[in-house]
Amino acid sequence: MTSPPTDSGPPSDRTKVRRLPDRGRYDADTVHAILDEGLVAHVGFAAEHGPVVLPMAYGRVDDRLYLHGATGNAMLRALDGGAVCVTVTLLDGLVLSRSAFHHSMNYRSVVVFGTAETVTDPAERDDALRAVVDQMVAGRSAECRPPSPEELRATRVVRVSLTEASAKVRSGPPKEDPVDLDPPVWWGGVIPVSLVRGAPEPDEFVT
Ligand SMILES: Cc1cc2nc3c(=O)[nH]c(=O)nc-3n(C[C@H](O)[C@H](O)[C@H](O)COP(=O)(O)OP(=O)(O)OC[C@H]3O[C@@H](n4cnc5c(N)ncnc54)[C@H](O)[C@@H]3O)c2cc1C
């Protein structure tokens, strides 16, 4: 079992936020909260033909992040035992400065470095697959048919430890240079952005 990131600083040199370091966070609460709110992980690894970043669903159990896919999934196969970088981003706002230069975004993001390991233990696979489903809607795994033995055989589950993770958070108004405020000719401020779930649309089989 690995240890979660602590709030005592970056867990490794490569996770140390150097650009605007005051935006860096390393505590497990922040890292986990961002991961738990996100829905899509961007998974980067070195493929035979060069670097690849692919979007994927994911789930978290304690300090482990899980990915899943078909046994024949080329990426998951290539990932097994290899170095991986997983990023999850929550976009909170478009930051419009009076200067083109200071335009920015408000966000909470997590970057995880690690090794991807195929999970073979049945109990861990079960927990991981439940976590991936519950990431979409909390408790959903208890409200649908569990995977059959055939479906389980066709599914690869990959684990990435959250030991080596960083978070970065930007919030607040745009940065302005004094010259742009004397007088403030252009508009400046934040356009909030959030991912909103619509009303559920039952399919034709719901009675
Ligand atoms: C939605 C969004 C839009 C962005 N747009 C831009 C842009 O247009 N231009 C731009 O330069 N930057 C942008 N950033 C910030 C970008 O992610 C980097 O933080 C920044 O470019 C600094 O890169 P660096 O290589 O100098 O980072 P460094 O500070 O040298 O990175 C060192 C380590 O810090 C950690 N780290 C760095 N960035 C992040 C992060 N975002 N989240 C979690 N951990 C991190 C990683 O562990 C990394 O290995 C954006 C971020 C988000 C979330």
Tokens of 73: 């999934």
Tokens of 187: 């508009």
Please give the pLDDT value at position 122.
Answer: 97
- Kindly give the distance from the C-alpha atom of residue 206 to the centroid of ligand 1, in angstroms, as a whole number: 44
Please give the pLDDT value at position 79.
Answer: 80
Strand, helix or coil at 62? coil
Residue whose CB lies within 8 A of the most ligand 1 atoms, among 42, 104, 109, 164, for a mutation test: 109
Closest CA to 101 of 28, 174, 203: 174
Task: Please state the domain extents for the chain.
Answer: 13-173
List, in sequence order, the alpha helices (H) in 90-166.
122-136, 149-153
Is any atom of ligand 1 closer than 6 Å to the C-beta of 106?
Answer: no
Closest CA to 44 of 4, 89, 82, 5: 82
Please give the pLDDT value at position 1.
Answer: 38
Please give the pLDDT value at position 68.
Answer: 96
- Kindly give the distance from the C-alpha atom of residue 69 to the centroid of ligand 1, in angstroms, as a whole number: 28
| Minimal-distance CA residue to ligand 1 atom 20 | 19
* pLDDT tens over the chain, length 207 residues: 344 445 678 999 999 999 999 999 999 999 999 999 999 999 999 988 899 999 999 999 999 999 999 988 877 877 888 999 999 999 999 999 999 999 999 999 999 999 999 999 999 999 999 999 999 999 999 999 999 999 999 999 999 999 999 999 999 999 999 999 999 999 999 999 999 999 999 999 999
Closest CA to 61 of 159, 151, 164: 159
Please give the pLDDT value at position 7.
Answer: 64
- Kindly give the distance from the C-alpha atom of residue 23 to the centroid of ligand 1, in angstroms, as a whole number: 10
Tokens of 89: 């981003």
Tokens of 173: 């108004």
Out of 2.30.110.10, 2.100.10.30, 3.40.50.300, 3.10.20.30, the CATH code matching 13-173 is 2.30.110.10
Is any atom of ligand 1 closer than 6 Å to the C-beta of 79?
Answer: no
Please give the pLDDT value at position 119.
Answer: 96
Is any atom of ligand 1 closer than 6 Å to the C-beta of 105?
Answer: yes
Could you identify the atom of ligand 1 that is nearest to the CA of residue 17? 34
Strand, helix or coil at 43? strand
Residue whose CB lies within 8 A of the most ligand 1 atoms, among 18, 19, 53, for a mutation test: 19
Please give the pLDDT value at position 2.
Answer: 42
- Kindly give the distance from the C-alpha atom of residue 103 to the centroid of ligand 1, in angstroms, as a whole number: 15
Is any atom of ligand 1 closer than 6 Å to the C-beta of 14?
Answer: yes
